[in-house]
Amino acid sequence: MKKIAILCADGFEEIEGLTVVDLLRRADVVCDIVAVGDASPIVGSHAIRVLPDRLFKETDFSEYDGIVLPGGLRGTAALAADGRVETQLRSFCAQGKLTAAICAAPTVLAQADLLRGKTAVCYPGMEDRLSGAVIGDSDVVEDGTVITSRGAGTAVPFALRLVAYLVSEERAKQLASAIVYDRKA
């Protein structure tokens, strides 16, 4: 069974974080909400309080198959400012494990120099902060073990791409049907 850590800090975008948690758990992927910082609950960008499964300082990242970063400007800034996050991202990339980010959070991957030569996307208007990346033109981009997406409106296809990567395309299609997700809408 696959296991993912979603790193959330105060100010994270709730749609981007919780959609990923919800759909991964529906696909039987263990998805732990890991609080970056020492506070619990985590308070999202729209004042929604979320109880994390664990705190960053208490997490053994060796048991995870991937890390996901939700956006939200304050949350992304907190992730970027925490050197432990960059250390874990670099470690996961070096081990060929999944690193994924949505909205503003791909800038954290770029700050760690993990997007050099990779195709990536982020929130429109922030592309200049994806140093070294080839800027894609899709809502969700997968390049090797890195998956990026544009923003809150792309949270469902982002989460479904994670399911396809971690489980299977078939399971992602089943989930899309079960939640009545229509890509043409």
Catalytic residue among 8, 31, 93, 103: 103
> Does residue 39 contact residue 66 with C-beta atoms inside 8 Å?
no
For residue 174, which amino acid is it? Q
Q: Establish whether 103 is a catalytic residue.
A: yes
Question: What are 169's two structure tokens?
Answer: 């395309």
Q: What is the DSSP string of 105-154?
A: THHHHHHTT--TT-EE--STT-GGGSTTPEE--SSEEEETTEEEE-SGGG
DSSP state of 61: G
- The length of the chain is 185
- Give the span between the Cα atoms of 115 and 109, in whole angstroms: 6
Beta pairing, strands 49-50 & 42-43: antiparallel
For residue 173, which amino acid is it? K
Residues serving a catalytic function are 103
